[in-house]
Amino acid sequence: MAPLAPLSEQPISEEETTTTCSKRLSATRSTRYSFRGWFKKRFSDNSSDLRVLLSVAASPLSPLPLPPKQPKKNAAVSSAEYIVQQFRATTRCTTMAASVKSMYAAGRVSLAITRQPSSAGGRRQHFDGCFVMWQLVPEMWLVELAVSGQQVVAGSDGRVAWRHTPWLGAHAARGGVRPLRRALQGLDPLTIAAVFSTAEHVGEKPIGGEECFALKLEVDPLMLLARSDGTAETIKHKMVGYFSPRSGLLVHLEDSLLIRTQTPGSQAMYWETNISSRIEDYRPVDGVMIAHSGRTTVDLVTFGVGLKADRVLMAQMEEVWTIEDVVFNVPGLSADYFIPPGEVQRM
């Protein structure tokens, strides 16, 4: 097996993006990548639309962390556990628990954003790119997304989750470590099963012409408080996974995040992000069923005092992704490769 590709330590120009993606996905993959010098440079930014797109869609997290080993039981949870057991059996992910210690995945993305889609002057822009993701089971992960000359990098060392963007630098996520949403899009069945093991079965919903089981996760008020600060309050965050009764697989994922923002001397504004993902093309990788393609749509809505309408759709976003490589048990991958950047460590 060839080694893993190194993480890029220099900016990628817009002209180089396609070439760089091809090299990362097809060239030899070396594990001798380094975080040193990663954040010493800043990238030029000529597209506010791309900033909005990457800020929202590049590396969102799951609403909830991985659950404790002895979750609280009730009737709704017990029903959900039966559905999750079917998912485990279908994906054969239980074999991962004993044998898989790390994972690498690489893929391509096609992104689009429409600003003010309801207005006559709304415009749509398209961007192409690629991503790579490393994971050390269960809570250490790292993802790098390169699109049109911009890179967004996010990671977790098992204690703190962080993200780096060219326009904001590196910063830690509030509220502790949570799984990466991209891993929940059919890429990591073991984490999917763990996260949804404490969900509530809230009925059925037609997805693609099939009545699918709906399992809901919702963040409690104490967790929401931990993710808030003086200028931004997280009001709600919930996720619903839809599992096919025919195949037992997770086929659709929806989550909604509502945040209230207010700065001194200004009126409060509310921002709601609704993300919906279709998950497709499950294929076996070393005997484990992994989703290899999908489509995510995002609606960014705002409302508050002084707006002409109660709710204003500010932007619609779309991501189409394909997975081109998945490797389990990456040689040489250790906790040292998931150390946060210095800016985060000093926070």
| CB-CB contact of 161 with 179 (8 Å) | no
Q: What is the pLDDT of residue 16?
A: 40
The answer to whether the beta carbons of residues 252 and 242 sit under 8 Å apart is yes
pTM: 0.84
∠ CA(190), CA(193), CA(194), 5° rounding? 85
Q: What is the pLDDT of residue 73?
A: 63
pLDDT of res. 230 = 76
Task: Write down the pLDDT at residue 255.
Answer: 96
- Helices 189-196 and 75-91 cross at an angle (nearest 10°) of 170
For the chain, give every domain's residue range. 14-345
Task: Give me the residues paired with residue 108 across strands.
Answer: 130, 322
Block residue for tokens 């294929």: 283
CA pair distance 253, 121, nearest whole angstrom = 31
- C-alpha–C-alpha distance, residues 300 and 272, integer Å: 6
Helices (H), the chain: 17-26, 48-57, 75-91, 94-99, 181-184, 189-196, 221-226, 342-345
What are the residues facing 216 on neighbouring strands? 200, 240
* Token pair for 285: 């990788």
| 107: β partners | 131, 323
Give the whole-angstrom CA distance, residue 302 versus residue 52. Answer: 14
Predicted confidence at residue 264, as pLDDT, reads 80
Q: What is the pLDDT of residue 14?
A: 35
How would you class 335 by CB atoms within 10 Å of its CB: exposed for 0-12, middle for 13-18, buried for 19 or more? exposed
SS3 275: strand
Instruction: Give the start-end residues of each E strand in the chain.
Output: 102-115, 123-136, 140-147, 150-157, 161-165, 169-172, 200-207, 210-218, 232-243, 250-261, 269-285, 288-304, 312-328
Partners of 218 in beta bridges: 238
Enumerate residues 6+ apart whose C-beta is below 8 A from 270.
235, 258, 259, 260, 261, 302, 303, 304
Maximum separation of any 2 CA atoms in the chain, in Å: 60
Question: What does the pLDDT profile of the chain (347 residues) look like in tens digits?
Answer: 333 332 222 333 333 444 445 444 443 333 323 222 322 332 233 457 888 888 888 889 999 999 876 555 666 668 889 999 999 999 999 888 889 999 999 999 999 999 877 766 667 899 999 999 999 988 999 999 999 889 999 999 999 999 999 888 898 988 889 999 999 999 999 999 999 999 999 999 999 999 999 999 999 999 999 998 878 899 999 999 999 999 999 999 999 999 998 878 878 889 999 999 999 999 999 999 999 999 999 999 988 865 555 788 888 999 999 999 999 999 999 999 999 998 887 66
Q: What is the length of the chain?
A: 347
Nearest to 8 by CA among 34, 46, 43: 34
